[in-house]
Amino acid sequence: MLSVPLLKPSINVQKRRRNLPALKDAKHLNTNCQRPARSGHPPYPRRTVGMKQETATPNYPLHVQLRVYALALLLATFISALHAGIIFGLADFFLVFREWVKPALAARPADILVVITAISGLFVSHIAEAGMWAAFFWKSGHLASFSDGWYFAGVSHTTLGYGDVVLSKPWRSLGPICAINGLLTFGCSTAFLFLVLQMIWQHPL
């Protein structure tokens, strides 16, 4: 039988084998240690990824939530009644305004002036109604300032819905209440403008 001579390991392999037990028994090694730096460069720290901790939402009592939502519904009812009063007030004003501008202006400029007055009155009313919602969000502590409340009320009242400013978790349903109120009031304003234009076209000045 032929005998195969065993090859003697090289010097580098022997050095590596001698260093392995020392590496295994090194308990002082830390996984968060810094990596060795290159020549002329500072050491690179190990990157650690931190998990984002969720902020705990405050637990409001049920009676506090019901009181805030009841105030929001009362405010929506008040704004709706106020808007209806503004529309009827503008209608009565246009009856007097029509008799006043009839001898002073021609037919077409008077019609344009009536439409501009109707649009301006409704625009101011919607600005005031959004300001009421802004004061409600600000004074009730849902938003930090009146400007934030104004922006959120304007976005919600007009059903624009950007979503960059939102309320905290227990009060998120206040946004839809403001949006529904704005949607209904804008619908009434649109119907009123349609009646004004219909009055002008059917019964010119």
Each residue of 183-193: pLDDT tens digit?
A: 999 999 999 99
Asked if 113 and 101 touch (Cβ cutoff 8 Å), the reply is yes
Does the pTM surpass 0.75? The reply is no
Would residue 65 count as lying in a domain? Answer: no
Would residue 44 count as lying in a domain? Answer: no
- For residue 71, which amino acid is it? L
Report pLDDT for 4. 47
What is the tally of structural domains in the chain? 1
Domain span including residue 140: 71-202
Length of the chain: 205
Q: The domain that contains 153 carries what CATH number? A: 1.10.287.70
Q: Calculate mean pLDDT across residues 99-127.
A: 83
Average pLDDT over the chain, rounded to whole? Answer: 77
Q: Which two tokens stand for residue 46?
A: 């190990």
| pLDDT above 60: residue 3 | no
Report pLDDT for 23. 45
Report which of 162, 193, 78, 197 is spatially closest to residue 128, judged by C-alpha positions.
Answer: 78
Could you give the percent of the chain with pLDDT greater than 70?
67
Report pLDDT for 149. 92
Report pLDDT for 75. 95
Distance CA 87, CA 189 (A): 8
Supply φ then ψ for residue 19, to 5 degrees. -85, -15
Would residue 47 count as lying in a domain? Answer: no
Q: Calculate mean pLDDT across residues 72-76.
A: 95
Question: For residue range 114-159, what is the model confidence (pLDDT) as tens digits?
Answer: 889 899 999 999 999 999 999 999 988 888 899 999 999 999 999 8
Task: Give Cα separations from 135 to 69, 93, 143, 174 (angstroms).
Answer: 15, 29, 10, 13
Would residue 187 count as lying in a domain? Answer: yes
Would residue 78 count as lying in a domain? Answer: yes
Would residue 38 count as lying in a domain? Answer: no
Asked if 86 and 125 touch (Cβ cutoff 8 Å), the reply is yes
Report pLDDT for 201. 81
